[in-house]
């Protein structure tokens, strides 16, 4: 079933139109007139399949995309942006309503469903939309899209600081709760013992009594192993063995991985509800390690417009992310990039100099010749992307990704770039 559309063609006897009351020079009014909403509706309508079962039609595409843009423009949660829609007539006009709305347009969970339905690839169309608006409003010239700055940062995930004791106890709780839900009578659940041990570990660590703390942590690990083996035995002897094996497979695999990992391992499990989180060190004095994913950002050299934003799982080397960042930029802008300015972390990027000219910070020569004064000035401006990343982290939603999984990180990174472009345009 295709999404519904907001129909304000008919006049209301008891209400006057918003377009006759609000300021026509307001930025939201101007922005709403520059966006090709019909094109977005045609592209996103293909994600809604008519299965012939009827039901309520989906919400208008303009409403959903407008709320996503407003959310990342003002760094709001799903609940906050839906409530703000009712309070702000300019937001209502931006989302396609010409009469004042007094009720919530959607349930906040509908934004989650919309993001999951659209996916990360289609979200690039929203980022491309903001780029086209910047070009149309002459904030950025097409020629400016040929010269870019590329950098990476860490987008932290919404998890607590991982400790062995916390992970062991959480994994035990998950197995116990799942066993109770499906009727497996465990020999012992260790709820009171593990709770007391967790309190003791916190006190030992606070008092710097590391030997006692390590002993208590080891005991928690032993308890987790006992519960895991007990659950496995109960599944083997159950009449529903095949179904229970499928239900418990994720939790048991996480537990085995948690018990087997060592302190010096590379690919460790840092969160049970977000197993793909990476531990990334960016050389910061205040924060040695951050837990999340790496995000590659590409901005125009002159104006700082984000023309590519992608999250990359697995903590790859910065130089290996440059090719995909430039490709995404060219796909979204449809403009061939001629030169890119990067920092020293991109050495060994492997980009053919005949395709794109790469200038690395601190570089003294190019093609065997000294850099010209113009290129030196342009290279010095490479650091202009750093405060933009700071704004996206503090004022946007780049500082903490609350969306689930790898796809959630990709969607959040793309929409952060779109929200930043709205402030630039």
Structure tokens belonging to residue 149: 């700055």
Q: What is 123-160+277-424's CATH number?
A: 3.30.420
pLDDT tens digit string along 212-234? 999 999 999 999 999 999 999 99
Alpha-carbon span 163 to 202, nearest angstrom = 11
In percent, the amount of the chain with pLDDT more than 90 equals 78
Structure tokens belonging to residue 207: 């008092």
pLDDT tens digit string along 90-137? 999 999 999 999 999 999 999 999 999 888 888 999 999 999 999 999
pLDDT tens digit string along 33-70? 999 898 888 888 877 766 656 667 788 999 999 999 99
Under 8 Å between Cβ of 277 and 159: yes
Q: Which residue has the tokens 């020293």?
A: 344
Give the C-alpha distances (Å, rounded to integers) separating 300 from 34, 148, 320.
Answer: 21, 4, 20
Under 8 Å between Cβ of 397 and 415: yes
Residue 332 has pLDDT above 80, yes or no: yes
pLDDT tens digit string along 349-362? 989 888 999 999 98
Alpha-carbon span 30 to 45, nearest angstrom = 25
Domain boundaries along the sequence of the chain:
18-107, 123-160+277-424, 164-260
Phi, psi values for residue 392, rounded to 5°: -65, -30
Under 8 Å between Cβ of 310 and 336: no
Query: What integer pLDDT is reported at residue 53 of this predicted model?
Result: 62
Note the pTM of the prediction, 2 decimals: 0.91
For residues 150-177, average pLDDT: 95
**Alpha helices, H only, 46-188:** 61-74, 78-87, 89-94, 109-136, 164-181
Lowest-confidence region among 32-46, 197-211, 265-279, 404-418: 32-46
Residue 425 has pLDDT above 80, yes or no: no
């Amino acid at each position: 079933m295709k999404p519904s559309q907001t129909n304000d063609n008919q006049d209301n006897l008891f209400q006057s139109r918003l377009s006759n009351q609000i300021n026509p020079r307001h930025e939201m009014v101007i922005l709403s007139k520059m966006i090709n909403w019909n094109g977005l509706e045609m592209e996103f309508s293909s994600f809604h399949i008519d299965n012939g079962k009827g039901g309520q039609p989906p919400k208008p595409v303009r409403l959903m995309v407008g709320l996503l843009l407003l959310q990342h423009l003002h760094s709001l949660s799903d609940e906050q942006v839906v409530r703000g829609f009712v309070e702000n007539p300019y937001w209502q006009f931006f989302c396609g309503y010409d009469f004042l709305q007094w009720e919530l347009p959607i349930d906040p969970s509908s934004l989650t469903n919309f993001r999951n339905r659209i996916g990360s690839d289609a979200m690039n169309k929203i980022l491309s939309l903001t780029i086209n608006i910047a070009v149309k409003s002459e904030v950025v010239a097409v020629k400016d899209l040929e010269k870019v700055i590329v950098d990476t940062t860490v987008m932290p995930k919404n998890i607590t600081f991982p400790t062995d004791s916390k992970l062991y106890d959480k994994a035990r709780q998950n197995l116990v709760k799942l066993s109770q839900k499906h009727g497996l009578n465990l020999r012992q659940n260790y709820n009171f013992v593990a709770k007391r041990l967790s309190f003791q570990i916190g006190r030992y660590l606070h008092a710097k009594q590391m030997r006692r703390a390590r002993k208590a942590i080891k005991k928690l690990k032993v308890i987790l192993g006992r519960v895991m083996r007990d659950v496995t035995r109960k599944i083997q002897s159950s009449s529903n063995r095949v179904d229970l094996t499928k239900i418990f497979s994720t939790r048991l695999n996480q537990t085995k991985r948690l018990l087997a990992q060592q302190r010096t391992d590379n690919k460790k499990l840092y969160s049970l509800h977000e197993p793909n989180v990476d531990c990334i060190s960016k050389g910061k004095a205040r924060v040695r390690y951050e837990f999340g994913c790496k995000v590659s950002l590409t901005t125009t050299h002159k104006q700082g417009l984000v023309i590519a934003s992608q999250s990359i799982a697995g903590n790859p080397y910065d130089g290996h992310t440059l090719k995909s960042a430039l490709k995404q930029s060219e796909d979204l802008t449809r403009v061939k990039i001629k030169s890119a300015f990067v920092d020293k972390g991109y050495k060994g990027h492997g980009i053919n100099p005949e395709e794109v000219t790469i200038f690395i910070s601190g570089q003294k020569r190019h093609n065997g010749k000294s850099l010209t004064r113009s290129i030196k000035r342009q290279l010095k401006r490479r650091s202009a992307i750093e405060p933009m990343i700071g704004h996206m982290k503090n004022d946007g939603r780049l500082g903490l990704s609350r969306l689930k999984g790898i796809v959630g990180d990709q969607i959040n990174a793309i929409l952060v770039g779109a929200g930043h472009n709205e402030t630039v345009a």
